[in-house]
Structure 1
């Protein structure tokens, strides 16, 4: 973030938070519930490390957590309407050409058997099988920032097939069992229907090769989707002959195929890997959608770590002529959602949900998504401002440069090595 005067930053926060709270009011039939939802936002944005109901209530000056619990529980309001509001609010500031829709999941560790969707299942958050809930998320990532724009709790068959558990957790009667890739496909469909401006989709292997590929081809969207080493790939239509699993194809690649590229900046600098890209076929977009035109390339992208040469594979679809650098950039945007999960969990209480119901989970998560989106909006707007100190420094530098130019014109034979340093 660029240097911004503290007065400007405080004003940005105050104005944005007031506007967000005002927009929230339209979702609630009763003003008291809107007030409690606004207090929820204050709580998750506050300095408390634990964002529990008691902590949020204390921050709001309430004698107990009942108002906070009512927002997530017995009050009548639509969490999906809030989800859509968060999406539209984030896009007003973050929408940008070349944006990537990133699909990923995260775990919510839970004890007991009564929280909706809880069960022993693998979560990458813990790196093991644990008692947890799994939430599938869609994040919008552009050069202006990142925000969550969709979410859904994954329900294992142990939940969808047991009426007594569904009833106790207030699971909607219409909800059937859906896999995580099916949830992702629904999120992509919602984004397309809402006119979300994105050019690419990036996702991990669980959401990769399959129906989502065809969905995105029909929509005219590029993708970089994780693939397994055992997935089969074939070339055709005037491309060099390639056939076999992703791992077999990789082993046969000549050394000159590999390029060292950065997948983006991390906490320790550029995330450097060796990359290879194999074009498999050039196809007409109208084969998948008669309203689309142009030549698109089906391909296989391979990433190799520098330390241990561990491999990762990605199925790709992009306009013909797209350079490997662009595909690497798209794949690298998946780190943005990982960073977002960490921030939302550690700073905004994403996993501090104390409700057990289906609608309680979605209400809690959607309110946290709103807080996270507001942070992203404030950050981007701050980046467009210039602090008085920075403007002063830039003016001094410009005066020095102008003076140097005049000096050079007056003494054309002066050595550049004798020039003085810029003022501090």
Structure 2
């Protein structure tokens, strides 16, 4: 494959990457060895390495062994949350918009054995079935300029949280207690609010949209959201009592009636524009009032090719918000799936060989910096050059990065 990017542009990207890692590493590390290892690891994650474990990354960058990377992830003294804050600041500085969206979703890493921190037989979104895996709720920031991870958590199942021996082997800090996945997202949202992250909506799938505590957190703080919800979510019925979300569909005609169904695109997919039939009705969630000045709207999305395939979204937005804005926001949810896919397939997000709590967080956070850098580089490109990036990410450093 011939890369359509010019040599000068690739060199400028390499210069930008060097400036970024140097700026972050300076105050993060007190010693030069982990500082250099950090810079090398970010560069290696961005390179065209088939399997991005410590040994192959070390070999690519020119290290004689994986010792430097292993020391960086495990024993070196540095604060991984400071790095997380740097990643967020970098993303917001280049991609931040007042109408930005935060998107929550899980990603999974299938593992062998039971020693990796948090590993258990649990639902794996990667395969759609129960696997021996780690589950990690992630938070992506998305705007018209691009999208990248800004926060992360490792889900610690109850069996782990209450097992002192396993916790000790994996060096899980004493303050870490069992938290559901929606509670972990609440924790991340709290951090984003404290950091001043600019966003208008939270997006998430039905696993989060069904959680009343996450919705209540948003209501209490007047945060907008557009989250998928299950068919059995209870709504307050028009004539009193309650009805399930799925029953609302029964009241809508299947064809015709101007204004009932509208065909709209809600973003690009791997096969082109995502086009669906949409309908919207005012809704009242049983036992949960919206924030003052806000209203709930139930969005119903129907497949054009298979009309029986329907998904429901609950929106919480300022009263009078255009339905088209809510539909566009619902379409932003897939941005985090792109981050998960690219992070795993191209940037080594889950190709780690660490088992303990701190090394896991360090690897994941360093791996978050790589797609953040690529998102900024892509956002700065004209449309024609952006197509070149989509043709092959590995062109980024093939000529400019040393081995």
Q: Say yes or no: TM over 0.5.
A: yes
Report 1:107-186 matches (<5 A).
Answer: 107-186=108-187
CA contact (8 A) 1:13 1:378 kept: no
- How far 1:385 sits from its partner (Å)? 11
1:305 to 303, 306, 309: 303
Cα separation, 2, equivalents of 1:135 and 1:304: 30
CA contact (8 A) 2:290 2:296 kept: no
CA contact (8 A) 1:298 1:316 kept: yes
* TM-score, length basis structure 2: 0.88
- How far 1:90 sits from its partner (Å)? 0.8
Q: Counterpart in 2 of 1:401?
A: none
CA contact (8 A) 2:219 2:290 kept: no
Give ranges in structure 1 of 5+ residues lacking alignment. Answer: 388-424
Report 1:380-395 matches (<5 A).
Answer: 380-383=379-382
| Aligned CA distance change for structure 1 residues 313 and 384 (closer, same or farther; 3 Å) | closer
Cα separation, 1, equivalents of 2:332 and 2:344: 19
Q: Counterpart in 2 of 1:219?
A: 221
Cα separation, 1, equivalents of 2:263 and 2:241: 23
Return the index of the structure with the highest Cα Rg.
1
Q: Counterpart in 1 of 2:373?
A: 374
1:270 to 268, 273, 290: 273
For the pair 1:11 / 2:9, whether they are aligned, the reply is no
CA contact (8 A) 1:136 1:183 kept: yes
Q: Counterpart in 2 of 1:20?
A: 21
For the pair 1:65 / 2:66, whether they are aligned, the reply is yes
Q: Counterpart in 1 of 2:324?
A: 325
Q: Which runs of 4+ in 1 moved over 4 A?
A: 240-243, 384-387
CA contact (8 A) 1:107 1:125 kept: yes
For the pair 1:229 / 2:215, whether they are aligned, the reply is no
Q: Counterpart in 2 of 1:254?
A: 253
> Could you list the per-position Cα deviations for residues 33-65 of structure 1 after superposition, in whole angstroms to 9, with x for gaps in the alignment?
111111111110111111111111112211111
- How far 1:91 sits from its partner (Å)? 0.5
Q: Which deviates more from structure 2 when the two are superposed, residues 166-175 or residues 210-219? A: 210-219
* TM-score, length basis structure 1: 0.84
Secondary structure of 2:82's partner? helix
Q: Counterpart in 1 of 2:90?
A: 89
Cα separation, 1, equivalents of 2:28 and 2:242: 54
CA contact (8 A) 2:28 2:82 kept: yes
CA contact (8 A) 1:49 1:346 kept: no
| Aligned CA distance change for structure 1 residues 97 and 6 (closer, same or farther; 3 Å) | farther
Cα separation, 2, equivalents of 1:188 and 1:212: 10
Secondary structure of 1:174's partner? coil
Cα separation, 2, equivalents of 1:114 and 1:243: 46
Across the aligned residues of Structure 1 and Structure 2, the Cα RMSD in angstroms comes to 2.2
CA contact (8 A) 1:43 1:55 kept: no
> Could you list the per-position Cα deviations for residues 66-85 of structure 1 after superposition, in whole angstroms to 9, with x for gaps in the alignment?
11101111111111111111
CA contact (8 A) 1:102 1:201 kept: yes
Cα separation, 1, equivalents of 2:385 and 2:52: 33
> Could you list the per-position Cα deviations for residues 135-193 of structure 1 after superposition, in whole angstroms to 9, with x for gaps in the alignment?
11000000000010000100001100100000000101011100000001111111111
Cα separation, 1, equivalents of 2:93 and 2:104: 21
Secondary structure of 2:381's partner? helix
> Could you list the per-position Cα deviations for residues 219-240 of structure 1 after superposition, in whole angstroms to 9, with x for gaps in the alignment?
222111121101111266xxx9
Cα separation, 2, equivalents of 1:4 and 1:168: 47
Secondary structure of 1:213's partner? helix
- How far 1:287 sits from its partner (Å)? 7.9
Q: Counterpart in 2 of 1:342?
A: 341
Cα separation, 2, equivalents of 1:251 and 1:287: 25
Give ranges in structure 2 of 5+ residues lacking alignment. Answer: 387-403
Q: Which deviates more from structure 2 when the two are superposed, residues 192-201 or residues 321-330? A: 321-330
